[in-house]
Amino acid sequence: MRKICSFLLVTIGAFIGVSGQVYSTTADGDFDGAVWDYPSWVGEGPQDGKLSKAWQIDHVLTRNGDVTSTQAGAIYGTLNVVEGDYKKSGGGSDVIYDGGRLEIWGNLTATQKIEVRDGGLLIVHGDASFSNSGSQLSGDVIVTGNVYLKNTDVVSTGNLIIGGNLEVANGGGSFNGDIYQLDPDASTTFPNYKDVDVGGEDEMMEDDDMVDVLLEILEDAGMIEGSLLPPHQWNGGESDDWFTAANWTYGVVPDASSDITIVNSGNAPVIGDGAIAYVNNLTIEADASLTLEPGARMTIQGDLITNDQLTVKNTVDAPVSLIVNGNVNGETNYEWEGMTKQLWWYISHPVTDVTETDYDNSYGVGRYVINRYSKDSWFRVAGYVSSDDIYDFSSDPDSDVQLEGYDLYPAEDVPLRYAGVLNNEDYSRTYTKAQWWLVANPYPSYMDVEDAGFDMGNFGKTVYIRKSDNSVSAYNVLNGVGVNEGSRYIAPGQSVWLRTYNATDYVNISTTARVHETGGYGLKSGSAEENDRLRLALSSDHGTDEIVMIFNVNGSELYTAYDSEKLFNSGNIANLYSEKDGKDVAINFLPELEPGTVIPLSYKVNEDGLSDFTIRATNINSFIPEVDVYLEDKEEGVTINLRETAEYTFIPLATSTSDRFELKFEASVSTDIESNEAEISLNNVTIYAVNQKAYVVVSEELLMAEDRAIEVYNLSGQLKAQYALNTTKTVFDLPESKTMYIIKVSVDQSSYQEKVVVF
């Protein structure tokens, strides 16, 4: 049997809705909607599936319903007849050329000639009748039902595979090709003078010319058992791209049901950053290889056999995410790029059997430091000035070493390389001291801390990552809020800080917590937020810190698990936080907001980190619109409305303070003081201030109104003073200097207001 063109190697049912063109100006794959552009048709398409003029198909077209061909037709591409029959009557031959495919989800009736050329493919999911047609079958013909032949040749290059009965009528026809009848109980009828050899399934499977794709078609059609099929194999004939169909023996990219074997053939396969690669079972032969490039994602539903030939290349911005749901046999080679020298990196090992020798070989002996944290202290375990013994990370003194996080300080900008068996089990560890603990993501994939498989015991429900720039991101698992890009997803190769106040506590992590999540190293920001939270950022020359306040019916003035304790930045990055129930917090989960609420703000910084600081309300436009937010600097005597000016720059006078700044929340002045210029306007009212005196000038006609008043408000909407409006010019003192006020003039049902600044 001949090859089937790689462009056609698609399983049953994969063609419906595929776009293409048939000499048409549009190529959307709809047989009825295509605008035909063929000389004999002059732009008019066939109606109701009736091909009544000479026709030709070059790409992929689908007809939902019957097709009737009464003129000569040529198929170089694919024609799918879905939920309908195909009838050939009248005109010249319908020819399926090398690389062409006609697939019918119904019956085929041919009273005129159909040719299936060498390399062509005809599939009928029903019965097929060739009568008085002079048809020639030189390619491959698969019929799931019964076949009737009269005046039909099965040429020596052809394969006719039948699922039901076969009847050959009197008349012409030769049978030099292979005929296989797969149902042993089906009937076979020939004229007495015909001598035809018909094989069964066993003979077909012994046919060396029976290519894999044809066997897969038969399997999908339910005509043979899938166990008879060999697994997918890589051939690498076109490139190293996993997702290129021509690189596979079936001409189809594997999916989650595919058993895959990587052999040493052509280009070695590579999975890059992009779509998730799925397989069932995966075997990499000992003389072959598979490489996962930075950012790649792969799920293996079954077992993985690596023969030590799987390589995972990571960068700190784009780690690989790999999930194996079955067993793992053989080691995987890991490589990490981008862990810049002379910075601290909080790491984990996604594989077993990593030793100090791996780090020596990567960075050089003594050209790095690795610490572990226990009993409120750091302990040097490998690298510079450590024990003369080679440290084995798999024999850590605590149980379930896969959950042990480490602090790495490299002295060289070179890749870190190590190898081991992928961590692929559930892990549990008991912690025997009330303190901060560094806990590893044990898996070669992202981990979802909101999944039930991530059990934090009685630890605080916040995960923290100290990033390489010395800033700390945090994510509260209960309320789903993070600061400094904190997210629910922990990257592979990352360790996180957890805090317990219990003498004995535990962490259980199950494989169900494994997920694929695109994004960089460490925790990333979450999705769009509700308007009940306010975010403030404190920026300096050395970096930025963030605090968030959430106002919720379930909030509390007391510290709860919905709050997140502040883990302070290191280095020269300033810290912004608030105090609650004796604790410094980065995420403050408060009761529903009421006008007049005041929240003190604190900052802390090393002396070398002092510079101009800026406090910025980063989401003020999405915060509760009915509330104005004021930032008061008590040291400078300045109050600003963050809705009008979202940031405030100041010079820190000390390395820490908890009484300089306050946030004040008030109902928006506009909801209480509403302008209505139907009777009163700029034409008859003038309001201004000079030094600490206010001036209100009105026209004489306004003095004729029954109700007249002047009111003075501060920016919080509080009424500070009232005056009678009895003359055309009213002068009065304002309460304080260096303050902004709103002066409102009311006359009957109308009013007018102006803001004034007192210097």
pLDDT given for residue 621 in this prediction: 86
* Closest C-alpha to 250, from 229, 227, 270, 232: 232
pLDDT at residue 153, as a whole number: 84
Question: Which residue is associated with the tokens 């209505």?
Answer: 676
What are 19-34's pLDDT values in tens digits? 333 444 344 456 766 6
Res 17 pLDDT > 70: no
Q: Distance between CA atoms of 465 and 12, rounded to whole angstroms?
A: 49
Residue-level pLDDT at 56: 85
323 against 78, higher pLDDT: 323
Average pLDDT, the chain: 85
Cross-sheet strand order for the sheet of 60-64: 60-64, 78-82, 101-104, 121-124, 140-143, 159-162, 178-181, 198-199
What confidence score (pLDDT) does residue 4 get?
30
Residue range 712-741, pLDDT digits in tens = 988 777 888 999 998 888 999 888 877 888
Q: Which residues pair with 103 in a beta bridge?
A: 80, 123
CA-to-CA separations, 558 to 86, 482, 596, 723, in angstroms, rounded:
76, 20, 19, 43
Sequence-distant (6+) residues with CB within 8 A of 535 are 483, 546, 547, 548, 617, 618, 619
Task: Report the pLDDT value the prediction gives residue 533, as an integer from 0 to 100.
Answer: 94
Query: Which residues, in sequence order, are CB contacts of 376 under 8 Å at separation 6+?
Result: 433, 435, 436
Q: Is the pLDDT of residue 46 over 80?
A: no
Report the C-alpha gap between 398 and 401 in whole angstroms: 6
CA atoms of 675 and 591, how far apart (whole Å): 32
216-230, 645-659, 737-751: the lowest-pLDDT one? 216-230
pLDDT for res 184:
85
User: Does position 673 have pLDDT exceeding 50, yes or no?
Assistant: no
Backbone angles phi, psi at 204, to 5 degrees: -65, -40
The answer to whether 566 touches 620, Cβ cutoff 8 Å, is: no
Give the gyration radius of the chain's Cα atoms.
39
Q: Name the 3-class secondary structure at 647.
A: strand
The residue among 395 and 383 whose pLDDT is bigger is 383
pLDDT tier, 396 (very low <50, low <70, confident <90, very high otherwise): low
> Predicted confidence band at 197 (pLDDT cuts at 50, 70, 90)?
confident
Q: What pLDDT score was predicted for residue 55?
A: 84
Partners of residue 754 on adjacent β-strands:
743
CA–CA dist 669, 718 (Å, integer): 9
H-only helix segments in 267-375: 356-363
Of 30-39, 377-386, 416-425, 618-627, give the lowest mean pLDDT range: 30-39
593-606 average pLDDT score: 94
| Mean pLDDT value of segment 602-621 | 92
Indicate the helix (H) or strand (E) that contains 230. Answer: none
Query: From CA 86, how far away is CA 68, in angstroms rounded?
Result: 6
Report which of 113, 100, 182, 103 is spatially closest to residue 145, judged by C-alpha positions.
182
Q: What is the pLDDT of residue 682?
A: 63
Our measurement of the distance from residue 226's CA atom to the centroid of its chain's CA atoms, rounded to an integer in Å, reads 33
**Number of neighbouring beta carbons within 10 Å of residue 185:** 5
What's the pTM? 0.63
How high is the pLDDT of residue 198?
Answer: 84
Task: Provide the pLDDT for residue 394.
Answer: 81
Tokens of 667: 């109902």
CATH fold of 685-758 reads Immunoglobulin-like (2.60.40)
Model confidence at 687, in pLDDT bands (50, 70, 90)? confident
Specify whether the CB–CB gap between 412 and 341 falls below 8 A.
yes
Angle at 356 between CA 351 and CA 357, to 5 degrees: 95
The answer for residues whose C-beta is within 8 angstroms of residue 571's C-beta and 6 or more apart is: 469, 470, 542, 543, 606, 609
